[in-house]
Each structure stands twice: as C-alpha cells, then as structure tokens.
Structure 1
Amino acid sequence: MDISRQLKIASTSGKLLFGQRQAIDACARGEAKCVILAANCSRLH
C-alpha cells in the first residue's frame, strides 16, 4: 500500500478528515478506517 497514493485518493473523494476532534468523533462512531498521528500530537486523548 502506497500511503501517498491512498491519501491522494481519500482527499479527492472528500473522505479525509483533519483535526483531533474530527478524528476522535469518527473513531467513536466507528467510521474511521485509518488514523495517522503526527509526531507532535497532543497526548490528551
């Protein structure tokens, strides 16, 4: 799986979310298929 290609497909399809709150909400609803964390993300959640 080429991560760059998959991210491009997700962004053009409109299924890409940005932000901590959106990611947490998508995970809670069971809608998230993949979550990519930045090296400097918050440890609050």
Structure 2
Amino acid sequence: MNFNHEKLDVYQVSLKYTKETFNVMEKMPSGYSYLKDQLKRASP
C-alpha cells in the first residue's frame, strides 16, 4: 500500500536523516551512550 505522504520531499529527507543518524551512532565509542540516547529520541 502506497501513502501520499511517502511522496513528500520532507518525508524522504527525514528517512535519510534517520538512516545517517543510526550510522553515526554505530561508530560512536561506548562512552557516549547519553548522546546516542539523545540522537535516538530526536530521530523521527
């Protein structure tokens, strides 16, 4: 099923942002768990 909001530029950008955010979090050292938590909550 295809929804109309999936065609919006802002939706596509938010998906890219979320993917990149999780890529960055994977590379962070273990001492930054508080920052990882903040980034997870800020992602759409």
- TM-score scaled to structure 1, two decimals? 0.30
Return the structure number with greater helix share: 2
| Higher RCO, Cα 8 Å, sep 6+ | 2
